[in-house]
Structures are given as structure tokens and as C-alpha cells.
């Protein structure tokens, strides 16, 4: 297959491309505007492609912006894509609260356009990056795919609205199938330290803790100690990026095998969680640095607990995680941070 990966120069996208190049025979084209993705990531992926050369498949990179609808149409006309894996999106919850239109434009509007391109140009398979943020303050823990969806921030809404566009399009078009993956809290990096999360102004907990351990920040904040959780700090289901990536390869096999997927939705997490305080302590332990943590009030838009029920993903996609180890997640995040700082 020829697979188009939008946002393939970014954090999760690059790990999926790495696995596609290492573990499959597919041709891959990355489309990325490099707003948060990186040139160096493309170079690392080119090296991985060279090390894994087989058949006459190719690996291509197109620098383009999804908001440029005319250009996207041209790219679809000039290529014969069989499947789309759509990562390109804005992903920072607090930013989405301050600048919701950025999220509705980059996430919902651009996703709608690229689905339109798939239908117009006969690209029959799509994998979509969704998020546990669609559940908001989840009505049940662990969260099932059928648990009520009630986002509490524009980021979650922008993804849920995209899910609706995908669902309606799958239902209306026989030759358009999709898998929606709802990600829990992704962290860590390639265990060989070739790629990782390079976004400089990251706000995500494990990345921030790694930067603080390495001294590129003097201190970090812990947002909220008065939640109804085991130690008062928020709990999340942290999943290693390579386990999240492998769920995409399984979803691709599923889309190839099934006649009609209209669409099917899967949680991707480990099914258990850690509190913010536990994660910070793990980072202190693996780095050997007792860095400064300031206790701050709750951050806007944060639900208390998000933990997945991943039984459907394991059963239907035959997905088996390999890196369910919070220490390994923190160690690989730290090693990557060291290599880029
Ligand atoms: N968090 C924190 N300090 C930070 C970053 C995050 O205390 O510097 C907390 C945040 O308030 C939330 C949890 O860590 O409770 C996970 O946040 P993150 O931004 O990593 O992921 P999210 O769940 O928002 O997607």
C-alpha cells in the first residue's frame, strides 16, 4: 500500500512511520508543514528507510499545509494513496482553552477537508488520531469506547467533531472505511533514541519533568492537589509512544481485512494509571535529580482521572503492548531530552 501520513514529522506520527518502514513493506509519504514537526526527524526516518530497504517501495516527504486546500487537492491528484493516517493537529489542552478557533480550524476544519479529499480521490482507508479528551470528566473509570462523551475543553471538542465527520462519511460512502484511535497519555521515546518528542514549548507532564531534571527549566509546576484521587493529584494512563504506534499498524491490518468498517473506535492505553505526583517521583528517581516542584492551583480543563478500558483494542485489533513500564517511559523521555538539549 501507499500510505499518506499527515503530521509524520511530529512525535507520534514519526514513531508510526518508523514502524511502517521497519515492520511492513508499505510505501510511505509524509505530509507535514513542520510547524511542530522537524527536519531532523525526517532525516532520522530517511536513515531508518535506508537501513530497511526492501522491494521497490519509496519514502517521500512533502512539506505542505493542510489548510491550503488547493495544494492538498493537487497532492492527492498527483499521488495514488491507498490509506491515510491523519496525525496533523494541535494538541495542547490549555492553549485550546485560550485559542479555540485555532483548534477548530487546524483540527476539525482541516480534518473535514482531508476526508473530502479521500472521498474525491478514492482513498478508501483512514486511521484517525483521536483522544481520551473526548470523554471529558469521564462518567465511568476505566473508560470504555461506549462511555458517554462530554469534552470539557475545545481540544476534546475539536476531535469529537472530527469523529462525527468521519462516522457520517463512513456511513454514507461504501468505499470509505475508518478506524478512530482514542489516545490516552502518550510519552517516552524510541528505545534506540533515534526519534522522540522535539516540540520545544511542550506542556505535557513527562516531557516537562524530563526538562526540569536536566536543568533546561529551573522548576516545574504540579497543578492541583485537591482532586478526588488516590493522592489528590490527577491520574492518567501513560502509554509508551511505540505501543501507541503499534496500534496503528494493527488498525491498518484490520482495515485491510474487514469488508466494511464504519467506523470502528478503540481506546489506546494500558488500562491503569499513575498520579501526577507518582510520575514526578519516578522522573526524580530515574534521573537522580531532586528538582524543584511548585504546587499550583488546578489547571483549567483538566479532568481528575482518565484511565482506559483497552479490552476491545486487545481483542479486536490483537494489540499487545510491550513497554508498559512507567520507569522505562520516563527513562526514554529523559534520554531523548538529553540528546536534543
Ligand atoms: N501537569 C502538571 N504539571 C505540568 C504538566 C502537567 O501538574 O507541568 C499535570 C496536568 O495538570 C494533568 C496531568 O499532569 O493533571 C497530565 O497533563 P498533560 O498535559 O501531560 O496531559 P493531558 O492529560 O492534559 O493531555
CB of 261 sitting under 6 A from ligand 1: no
Q: Quick check: CB of 185 below 6 Å from ligand 1?
A: yes
Grid coordinates standing for 336?
531523548
Ligand 1 lined by 177 (C-beta under 6 Å):
no
Of the residues 209, 226, 300, 302, which should be mutated to test ligand 1's pocket, given the most ligand atoms within 8 Å of the CB? 302
Residue 237's φ and ψ, nearest 5 degrees, are -100, 95
Which protein residue's CA is at the shortest distance from atom 15 of ligand 1? Answer: 234
| Residue with grid cell 492553549, as numbered in its chain | 95
Nearest to 54 by CA among 30, 18, 25: 25
| pLDDT score of 202 | 83
For the CA of 234, the nearest atom of ligand 1 = 15
Using CA atoms, how far apart are residues 209 and 334, in angstroms rounded to an integer?
Answer: 9
Ligand 1 nearest atom to the CA of residue 279, by list position? 14
Of residues 167, 125, 152, 197, the one with CA closest to residue 265: 167
Integer Cα distance of 338 and 164 in angstroms: 40
Do residues 301 and 152 touch, judged by C-beta distance below 8 A? yes
Query: Which ligand 1 atom minimizes the distance to the CA of 206?
Result: 20
- Domain boundary assignment for the chain: 2-186+239-269
Examine residue 142 and say whether the peptide bond preceding it is cis (omega within 30 degrees of 0).
yes
Residue nearest to atom 4 of ligand 1 (CA): 205
C-alpha cell, 125: 482507508
The residue among 81, 100, 84 whose CA lies nearest residue 92 is 100
For the stretch 114-173, pLDDT in tens is 999 999 999 999 999 999 999 998 989 999 999 999 999 999 999 999 999 999 999 999
223 pocket-lining for ligand 1 (C-beta < 6 Å): yes
Q: Report pLDDT for 341.
A: 85
3-state DSSP assignment of residue 120: helix
CA distances from 56 to 62, 67, 80 (A): 19, 32, 15
Give the angle subtended at the CA of 246 by the CAs of 244 and 251, to the nearest 5°: 100
- Between strands 274-275 and 235-236, the pairing is antiparallel
| Alpha-carbon dihedral 45, 186, 284, 208, rounded to 10 degrees | 80
Contact 99, 43 (CB under 8 A): no
User: How far, in Å, from the CA of 204 to the mean position of ligand 1?
Assistant: 5
pLDDT of residue 271: 98
DSSP three-state, residue 49: helix
Q: Is 302 in the pocket of ligand 1 (CB under 6 A)?
A: yes
What is the C-alpha separation between 234 and 105, in angstroms, rounded?
Answer: 29
Architecture of the 2-186+239-269 domain = 3-Layer(aba) Sandwich (3.40)
Is the distance from the beta carbon of residue 236 to the nearest atom of ligand 1 less than 6 Å? yes
Cα–ligand 1 centroid distance for 120 (angstroms): 39
Backbone φ and ψ for 69, nearest 5 degrees, come out as: -60, -35
Active site residues: 155
pLDDT for residue 201: 80
- Interval between CA 80 and ligand 1 midpoint (Å): 40
State whether the beta carbon of 234 lies less than 6 angstroms from ligand 1.
Answer: yes
The Å distance, Cα 205 to ligand 1 centre, comes to: 5
What's the predicted TM-score (pTM) here? 0.96
Q: Which three cell numbers stand for residue 227?
A: 482532586
C-alpha closest to that of 12 among 273, 145, 136, 197: 197
In the chain, alpha helices (H):
11-23, 39-51, 69-78, 93-98, 100-103, 110-121, 154-172, 205-213, 241-257, 276-287, 311-317, 326-340
Atom of ligand 1 nearest to the CA of 187: 20
| Shortest-distance Cα residue to atom 10 of ligand 1 | 223
Q: Show pLDDT as tens, one digit a residue, over the chain (341 residues).
A: 999 999 999 999 999 999 999 999 999 999 999 988 889 999 999 999 999 998 899 999 999 999 999 999 999 999 999 999 999 999 988 899 999 999 999 999 999 999 999 999 999 999 999 999 999 989 899 999 999 999 999 999 999 999 999 999 999 999 999 999 999 999 999 999 999 998 878 889 999 999 999 999 999 999 999 999 999 999 999 999 999 999 999 999 999 999 888 889 999 999 999 999 999 999 999 999 999 999 999 998 788 999 999 999 999 999 999 999 999 999 999 999 999 98
Amino acid at each position: 500500500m501507499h500510505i499518506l501520513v499527515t503530521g509524520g514529522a511530529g512525535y507520534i506520527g514519526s514513531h508510526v512511520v518508523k514502524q511502517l518502514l521497519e515492520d511492513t513493506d508499505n510505501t510511505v509519504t509524509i505530509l507535514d508543514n513542520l510547524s511542530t514537526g522537524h527536519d531532523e526527524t525526517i532525516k532520522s526516518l530517511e536513515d531508518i528507510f535506508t537501513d530497511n530497504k526492501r522491494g521497490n517501495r519509496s519514502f517521500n516527504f512533502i512539506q505542505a499545509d493542510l489548510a491550503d486546500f488547493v495544494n492538498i487537492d493537487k497532492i492527492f491528484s498527483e499521488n495514488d494513496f491507498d490509506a491515510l493516517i491523519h496525525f496533523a493537529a494541535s494538541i495542547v489542552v490549555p492553549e485550546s482553552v485560550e485559542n479555540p478557533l485555532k483548534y477548530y480550524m487546524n483540527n476539525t476544519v482541516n480534518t473535514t477537508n482531508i476526508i473530502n479529499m479521500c472521498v474525491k480521490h478514492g482513498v478508501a482507508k483512514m486511521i484517525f488520531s483521536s483522544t481520551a479528551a473526548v470523554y471529558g470528566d469521564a462518567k465511568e473509570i476505566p473508560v470504555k469506547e461506549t462511555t458517554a462523551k462530554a469534552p470539557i475543553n475545545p481540544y476534546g471538542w475539536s476531535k469529537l467533531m472530527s469523529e462525527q465527520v468521519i462516522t457520517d462519511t463512513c456511513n454514507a460512502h461504501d468505499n470509505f472505511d475508518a478506524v478512530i484511535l482514542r489516545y490516552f497519555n502518550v510519552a517516552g521515546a524510541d528505545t534506540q533514541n533515534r526519534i522522540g518528542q522535539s516540540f520545544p514549548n511542550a506542556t505535557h507532564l513527562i516531557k516537562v519533568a524530563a526538562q526540569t531534571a536536566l536543568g533546561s527549566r529551573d522548576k516545574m509546576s504540579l497543578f492541583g492537589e485537591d482532586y478526588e484521587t488516590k493522592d489528590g493529584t490527577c491520574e492518567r494512563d501513560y502509554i509508551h509512544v511505540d505501543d501507541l504506534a503499534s496500534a496503528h499498524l494493527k488498525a491498518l491490518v484490520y482495515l485491510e481485512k474487514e469488508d466494511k468498517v464504519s467506523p470502528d473506535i478503540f481506546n489506546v492505553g494500558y488500562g491503569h494509571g499513575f498520579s501526577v505526583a507518582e510520575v514526578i517521583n519516578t522522573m526524580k528517581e530515574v534521573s537522580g535529580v531532586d528538582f524543584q516542584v511548585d504546587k499550583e492551583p488546578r489547571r483549567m480543563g483538566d479532568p481528575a482521572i482518565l484511565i482506559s478500558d483497552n479490552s476491545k483494542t486487545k481483542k479486536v485489533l490483537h494489540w499487545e503492548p510491550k513497554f508498559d513500564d512507567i520507569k522505562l517511559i520516563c527513562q526514554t523521555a529523559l534520554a531523548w531530552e538529553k540528546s536534543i538539549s
